[in-house]
Amino acid sequence: MLGKLNMDEFAMGSSNETSAFGPVVSPWRREGSNVSAGASGAIEGTHLVPGGSSGGSAAAVAAHLCLGATATDTGGSIRQPAAFTGTVGIKPTYGRVSRWGTVAFASSLDQAGPITRTVRDSAIMLRSMASPDPKDTTCVDLPVPDFEAAISRGVKGLKIGIPKEYRIDGMSPEIEQLWHQGAEWLRAAGAEIVEVSLPHTKYALPAYYIVAPAEASSNLARYDGVRYGLRENGRDIVDLYEKSRAAGFGREVKRRIMIGTYVLSAGYYDAYYVRAQKLRTLIKRNFEEVYAQGVHAILTPATPSAAFGIGEKGSGDPVEMYLNDIFTVPVNMAGLPGIAVPAGFDSQGLPLGLQLIGRAFDEETLFAAGQVIEDSAGRIKLPPAWWA
């Protein structure tokens, strides 16, 4: 273990701007950008976010500070930062990796996985991270395959689905083009590309922003300044609770706790929480139906855009930030594995990623298809150390 890395507070965020320690700076710069490390070592100019919430992990791997890093993904926090930094990130099937030792955000969605520079490194690292664990009852008792062996399998004879509902308004033409390119690479390697339909996709993000805050409000109740978390002394116990919780959480975390408490409260529970759970079942069923048609994996863009600048998104409307996870969230809602692999660049020279979504506990197919994308795209050249 080399050290601990920065992240969004309680893993809530898509840019690392909610971190209590200040934002992570991406090692990537837009073409022609004047961002540099100043004489004092301070970063000058508009720098880019590495994505979030595991942005520290992604930035450290992309900056060659380490070979690989652990990360967690509740709605996209491994795959979105990997896509923003030209690295590989896999969110394994829910239950593949133990959550023991992870601070719980939304327990029915949280899953740990690696961020690495190559698909092979990802396979090696996941193999050592995955195992049954009596300390996490959601962790399944399945043998861990040799993921590294799977990377050379290729995709000959595999059926890869392209979901039409992932073609969203306002998606950049570069992403659309990259997606098409990815499908062509897989076809050239012997896969059959088929159009599939996941009709409930559009409900995944709104349902996630009910389920995840509901679980978070419950999980974060323990940070009361008595048993867990920051303590601010008060006149009496109620005052201590109030002061501790007011000082111990940032704005975004408070927003989630309030949303979660609201959707779980008597009178609103059926209208919000129960309906979101029903949608979750339908989203999961959509995937099952596609896989029942013989589809082995699904190809989508990882994110609707490349990395943005610090302060550029979400300051007025938090939903603008939430939309970053539009392609990754359905995978968590369905408990399935998803991998983000770097596949190209946008017009500003920033990396873009493709996502492959697999059948439950079939990460091997994701490594096999991910390797085909990596081989076809060519290994992404990571940025030089301008900060050193």
Which of 6, 19, 26, 77 touches ligand GLN (CB under 6 A)?
77
13 makes contact with ligand GLN (CB under 6 A): yes
Q: How far is the CB of 71 from ligand GLN (least distance, A)?
A: 9
Who contacts 180 (Cβ-Cβ below 8 Å, separation ≥6)?
none
162 makes contact with ligand GLN (CB under 6 A): no
Q: Which stretch binds ligand GLN (CB under 6 A): 6-14, 156-164, 337-345, 379-387?
A: 6-14
Q: Is 192 helix (H, G, I), strand (E, B) or coil?
A: strand
114 makes contact with ligand GLN (CB under 6 A): no
Q: How far is the CB of 105 from ligand GLN (least distance, A)?
A: 6
Q: Which stretch binds ligand GLN (CB under 6 A): 21-29, 30-38, 72-80, 194-202?
A: 72-80
Which residue number, 71 or 290, has a Cβ lying nearer to ligand GLN?
A: 71
Nearest to 103 by CA among 94, 114, 95, 112: 112
Distance (Å, whole) CA 155 – CA 181: 16
CA distances from 162 to 31, 184, 313, 376 (A): 31, 12, 29, 18
Residues between 178 and 217 with contacts to ligand GLN, criterion CB under 6 A = 212
Distance (Å, whole) CA 130 – CA 97: 4
53 makes contact with ligand GLN (CB under 6 A): yes
325 makes contact with ligand GLN (CB under 6 A): yes
Q: Which stretch binds ligand GLN (CB under 6 A): 69-77, 170-178, 281-289, 301-309?
A: 69-77
Which of 75, 86, 330, 342 touches ligand GLN (CB under 6 A)?
75
Q: How far is the CB of 263 from ligand GLN (least distance, A)?
A: 15
**Strand order in 68-73's β-sheet?**
68-73, 111-116, 88-91, 338-345, 351-358, 297-301, 159-163, 192-196
Who contacts 9 (Cβ-Cβ below 8 Å, separation ≥6)?
18, 19, 20, 249, 250, 252, 253
